[in-house]
Amino acid sequence: MRAVHRGVRWINRSALTGVLFCQACGIVTALDSSPTPPLTPAQRPIPIRWTTIDPLRQLSAFPDWNMIVSVRSEGGYADNVLLSEKRRQGSGFVAAGADLFLIHLPAKGPEFNLFFSGDDRHYFSSVSAGSNQPPATKDQYFITQASIKQVWREDWVFSFAAQHVYNDQVYDASDLEDRIGSVRTQGHYINLLPSIRRGVGQYFFLEAAVGGGRQHFEHPISSYWEAGPRLTAGWTPTTNTTVEIGLSANRRWYDTRLQTDLAGNPLPGTQLGTDDKRAELIWRQTWDSRRWWSTTLRGYINHRTDDAAGYYDYDRSGAAATLKFSPPHWIVRLSLKGSTYDYRRQLVSPFDPVPRVREEAELEARVERQITKQLRLYVRGLYDVTHSNVPLDSYWANTALAGIEWDF
């Protein structure tokens, strides 16, 4: 990716973001594939974007430093801002955002990467979120990632990464609190991730990482600490094919969430903790010599247990597929993802004594047109649906938008 000439190859900026971060932390899966995502934003204000950027655009006074800056503006309509089944409220919106990539690639010594992305969306209507919550007038999302990587004896890579995420949004909090549905709150997430990677032969690698972080939420969602190891094995038989298998474990310690008995009754004087064990398989494939057609397939299983009676225990499985078509001056991307939660001991209610079940699906389409080397136009549509036998868990939402983006 470092040797791409300006205007020659289309580069997925989300993939570049992941590469910069993963070069440091050793993880080659995308950022949204963490074992236990800390949050689920309502309208996902940072869309997937692509660009024809030159990763080696250098600052004239600093030949070892490379910088990429882009800004964007967009507008659209969301028909369910609160992610609610019964209180569906829609609104038009406008948004502005920016990205910054700063890369240090010295001839010798450690590499340094810094990435920042921020989006600020404002709704035309003030959507009421209930008597105990502030109205939904905006969505904000800011992420900053910094990483250092050192190569040793060619086959070893040591890295350290730090990440901060700020959100002010409506969250689907079904997995973060007991049956409160979607709520509006603010959150800060800080994560540290040291890792080590070892090449094995010409086509294989092994990677180990141990990460830890702090997720802070405003009321009513409980904040928590989390930490755990991850082991990844990868196989790259050709430049067009990558296969990865990941195993991870993650422990969470909640600040205010209480342990419960099998009926869901809180146990005073206790503190809830959960353990996640996850296995994941990812296959990335480019199908033609011109690199116009590419796919990414991901599947995973997750086993969660709590440290009490098992009221919050569940098995989660999911899959995602992405198809990208990128001829000259165009990008067309379709993605589909879905997952199911099967709670082993939690029942819907005493009056409906069947196990709780939750199903999620998301369909996204995006079309982008390159106007000049620095200017792009795009349209995007997103359909998000969640179904559950617990009414607060269910909703469906549509978002449509169009935007313009400039590179500097």
At 6 the pLDDT is: 32
CA geometry: angle 375, 380, 383, nearest 5 deg: 165
In terms of average pLDDT, the best of 34-43, 60-69, 146-155 is: 146-155
Average pLDDT, the chain: 85
What is the mean pLDDT of the segment spanning 266-286? 97
For 97-134, write each residue's pLDDT tens digit: 999 999 998 888 899 999 999 999 999 988 876 656 67
At 153 the pLDDT is: 85
Region of 278 on the Ramachandran plot (φ > 0 left; ψ -120 to 50 alpha; else beta): beta
Question: 95 or 52, which is more confident?
Answer: 95
119-133, 183-197, 224-238, range with the lowest pLDDT: 119-133
Residues 6+ apart with CB under 8 A from 78: 43, 90, 91, 93, 123, 397, 398, 399
Q: How far from the centroid of its chain's Cα atoms is residue 242's Cα?
A: 20
Band of the pLDDT at 3, cuts 50, 70, 90?
very low
Residue 71 scores a pLDDT above 60: yes
Q: What are phi and psi of 10, to 5 degrees?
A: -80, 135
Topology given in CATH for the domain delimited by 11-407 = Porin (2.40.160)
At 126 the pLDDT is: 81
For residue 220, cis peptide bond before it (omega within 30 degrees of 0):
yes
At 210 the pLDDT is: 97
What is the mean pLDDT of the segment spanning 224-243? 96
Considering just the CA atoms, what is the radius of gyration of the chain in Å?
Answer: 22
